Amino acid sequence: MYFSISLAALVTIPAVNALVYVDSTGKLPALGWNSWNAYYCDIDEGKILAAANSIVDLGLKDAGYEYVNIDDCWAVKDGRDNVTNQIIPDPLKFPTGIKGIADEIHALGLKVGIYGSAGTLTCGGYPAQLGNEALDAATFAGWGIDYLKYDNCYIPANWTDTYDACVPDAWQIYGPYDNGTCAASPRDAPPGYDWSTSNNAKRYRIMRDALLAQNRTILYSICNWGHAEVQEWGNSTGSSWRITGDITPDWARIAEILNENSFLLNYVDFWGHNDADMLHIGNGNLTLQESRSHFAFWAVTKSPLIIGTALDKLAAEKVEILKNKALLAFHQDDIYGGPAEPYKWGINPDWTFNATNPAEYWSGPSKAGTLVLALNTLSTPVWKEIIFSEVPQLSKEKSASYHVTDAWSGKDLGCVKGRIRRWVDSHDTIAFTLGKKCDW
């Protein structure tokens, strides 16, 4: 069951109806694992179950990770069942079917996710859901599915949109992006256009309604790459919505997505979250410092944290990043639903849209106190200084002292006066929780 509430009193955006489940699914951003960034189409039952067992064995389940998500390429590619029209799991990859593997994952105390697309085919060319939403939602529910990632490939002409919204992303075609705007295009929407009336929004609402008609809660993750101003209508349609094109395992792309997300954070609160895409920790050539920053900013912006690597090969130091207690506590805070936000850009003047050097100084409230972070966007180490009187949630007294805990190490630093200054490696992030004000 679900109901809707007005978020007008909670966030600084126009009133919208949020998708609210009575069992609290989707109130907080999701935590889990997905097969795509680890294996792409080369998936099978053994790899998915190995990941599920690793989530338990590595302590990730105890840290809060719960979803085991099967991405694209799980179905038979050449069609549906001739009699029932149901989508068919590939019997070579999943000999016990999706129901069989779901039962095993549930037995571990975890949940299971599946992948689909709001088009005629998935991005990998497999059968998709457009026109079969009710049937496939019922099939997913019958298999015991708990989560649907819903992509945006192979859209037929009668479902395409008249207009394109601006997504200031390197993979789009309307750059360069002058401070986050797109170049003029003949496909620009007229001023005041209501994107919730777009075909894109309609396609995603059809599947939302199909999922809500089932007898189990299925978290709905919209993956339309930021198209059709999804942040304007995503909250009434799904629990999270992708805001950009796909992530890649390199620092330039991570910085670019962080920069874009930093201008959309007023859409984030309980029951609705910008999805900055899956985590690439353990993939590509990301350094340990870049992995820390990647995780820290996905966590504090309250993006879903969906691990995307082969867990059986993940270095212990990167497992520890994924289990960081302070950042996960902020991410899963049940009192403060909003994200951390930039309060000073650092390298650039405030409110500068810059894909290479996004905002560097961030803060946000939590049950534990005020979380403050400083990112080094440069390719060389630098001194970074967090000045307490500049942090919006703190006193403007320049000599104020606070009880400080290092978010990475968990070390209690005692009462610290006025500021914190640290030498920060290239692309690394320092983070501290500032608790009660100290009385001297």
- Angle ∠(200,354,419) on CA atoms, nearest 5: 120
Q: Is the dihedral of CA 420, 421, 423, 429 positive or negative?
A: positive
Which listed residue (103, 246, 250, 406) is catalytic? 246
Q: How confident is the model at residue 7 (pLDDT cuts 50, 70, 90)?
A: very low
**Whether the predicted pLDDT of 387 surpasses 60:** yes
Please tell me the predicted confidence (pLDDT) of residue 182: 87
Peptide bond between residue 176 and the one before it cis (omega within 30 degrees of 0): yes
- Per-residue model confidence as pLDDT tens digits over 285-322: 999 999 999 999 999 999 999 999 999 999 999 999 99
Strands (E), 286-440: 305-307, 341-344, 361-366, 369-375, 382-387, 401-406, 412-417, 419-424, 429-437
**Beta carbons within 10 angstroms of residue 341's beta carbon:** 16
The SS3 of residue 79 is: coil
Cβ–Cβ under 8 Å, residues 245 and 52? no
SS3 string, 15-40, reads: CCEEEEECCCCCCCCCEEEECHHHHC
Give me 253's structure tokens.
Answer: 């792309």
- Per-residue model confidence as pLDDT tens digits over 259-270: 999 999 999 999
**Whether the predicted pLDDT of 3 surpasses 70:** no
Active-site residue, 90 included: no
Q: How far apart are CA 97 and CA 255, in angstroms?
A: 39
Give the residue-averaged pLDDT of 150-179.
88
Phi, psi dihedrals of residue 200, rounded to the nearest 5°: -60, -50
Task: Out of 8-22, 67-81, 183-197, 279-293, pick the least confident.
Answer: 8-22
Q: How confident is the model at residue 241 (pLDDT cuts 50, 70, 90)?
A: very high
Element (H, E) at 134: helix 133-143
Please tell me the predicted confidence (pLDDT) of residue 180: 87
Please tell me the predicted confidence (pLDDT) of residue 439: 82
Q: How far apart are CA 324 and CA 256, in angstroms?
A: 24
**Whether the predicted pLDDT of 179 surpasses 90:** no
Q: How confident is the model at residue 177 (pLDDT cuts 50, 70, 90)?
A: confident
Tell me the β-bridge partners of 220.
148
Ramachandran assignment for 38, one of left (phi > 0), alpha (psi -120 to 50 degrees), beta (any other) = alpha
Give the residue-averaged pLDDT of 315-338.
98
Tell me the β-bridge partners of 219.
147
What proportion of the chain, given as a percentage, has pLDDT over 70? 95
Please tell me the predicted confidence (pLDDT) of residue 440: 63
Q: Is the dihedral of CA 87, 90, 91, 93 positive or negative?
A: negative
Q: How confident is the model at residue 173 (pLDDT cuts 50, 70, 90)?
A: low
Give the residue-averaged pLDDT of 83-109.
98
Ramachandran assignment for 251, one of left (phi > 0), alpha (psi -120 to 50 degrees), beta (any other) = alpha
Which listed residue (151, 161, 169, 428) is catalytic? 151
**Whether the predicted pLDDT of 8 surpasses 60:** no
Please tell me the predicted confidence (pLDDT) of residue 9: 28
Q: Beta 17-21 vs 31-34: how paired, if at all?
A: unpaired
Active-site residue, 246 included: yes
Give the residue-averaged pLDDT of 212-221.
98
Cβ–Cβ under 8 Å, residues 405 and 411? yes
- Per-residue model confidence as pLDDT tens digits over 110-161: 999 999 999 999 999 999 999 999 999 999 999 999 999 999 999 999 999 9
